Amino acid sequence: MRLFQFVEDRIAEVVLKDGFEDLPFHELTEDGHVVKGVWLFNSPDAWQEKVAGADGDGGKVMLAVEIPDDALSGHEILMMDDEREIREFLVPAYLVNSFGRPKIADVELNWPGLLEDIYTDDIGEDPE
């Protein structure tokens, strides 16, 4: 299965070089424990829905990694309000990294100040 993670460009550089690392998941378990892993989605569109509004400096990079379905057993995150079209996984970094380095699936350039001194209000307008 192809899984995706959307990260800032500096983080992508580290992941591409050294692999993923376990990070705390934003939701606690029912008994209040923090769980760690690599948060992945089965759809690149999921990041827009789940992580909308995530700010940061620099560009954004969509990383993709291939992991066999059977290796994901027991790592799927099931929440009551989830739509079943989008599946989430919290996978230990050692397991994700065992299937090789991720590939860059997409890049969104967003360097701070890049268009600061450029008038952009009329971009996309049809000149008559």
pLDDT tens digits along 31-82: 777 889 999 999 887 766 555 444 545 568 889 999 999 999 999 987 655 5
| Cα–Cα distance measured from residue 85 to residue 79, given in angstroms and rounded to the nearest whole number | 13
Q: What type of residue is 77?
A: I
pLDDT of 52: 46
CA 110 to CA 102: how far, in whole Å?
21
Query: HEC string of the chain?
Result: CEEEEEEEHHHHHHHHHHCCCCEEEEEECCCCCEEEEEEEECCCCHHHHHCCCCCCCCCEEEEEEECCHHHHCCCEECCCCCCCCCCEEEECHHHHHCCCCCEEEEEECCCCCCCCCCCCCCCCCCCC
Rounded to an integer, the average pLDDT of 14-39 is 84
Asked whether the beta carbons of 42 and 86 are under 8 A apart, the reply is yes
Residue 106 phi, psi dihedral angles, 5° rounding: -165, 155
Q: Between 49 and 89, where is the model more confident?
A: 89
Give the domains, in start order, of the chain with CATH numbers: 2-108 (3.20.170)
Instruction: Give the confidence band of 20 by pLDDT, cuts at 50, 70, 90.
Output: very high
pTM above 0.75, yes or no: no
